Amino acid sequence: MSKVGSASEFSCLENLWGKESGWNPNAQNPTSTAYGIAQFLDSTWAGTGIAKTSDGYRQIDAGLIYIEKAYGSPCGAWAKSQSSGWY
């Protein structure tokens, strides 16, 4: 949780990735390249500096890097997901 910040930020992350993959590191979208806990497309993986992997711990690292760069916080990413259906 220290990488996420506060309990409220962790709650947003739980909601976000619960919706995306149920926190399943092997979740695969059948109609796109979205894969893993954060359901990243191949192009999103590339932007994190972490190679696409089935390792859930590395997926979480990549997810937090992406969220910080794109939304500033897990609650920012969750708000985007709630308003648009994706993040």
Bridge partners of residue 35, in order along the sequence: 28, 40
With bands split at pLDDT 50, 70 and 90, how would you rate the model's confidence at 7? confident
- 39-62: pLDDT as tens digits: 999 999 999 999 999 999 999 999
Report CA 83 to chain centroid distance, whole Å: 16
The pTM for the full model equals 0.89
Q: What is the pLDDT of residue 85?
A: 92
What pLDDT score does 3 carry?
Answer: 63
- Averaged pLDDT score across all residues of the chain: 94
Q: Closest by alpha carbon to 22, among 7, 5, 39?
A: 39
Percent above pLDDT 70 for the chain: 94
Domain ranges of the chain: 7-84
Return d(Cα 73, Cα 13) in angstroms, integer: 9
Q: Does domain 7-84 have CATH number 1.10.357.10?
A: no
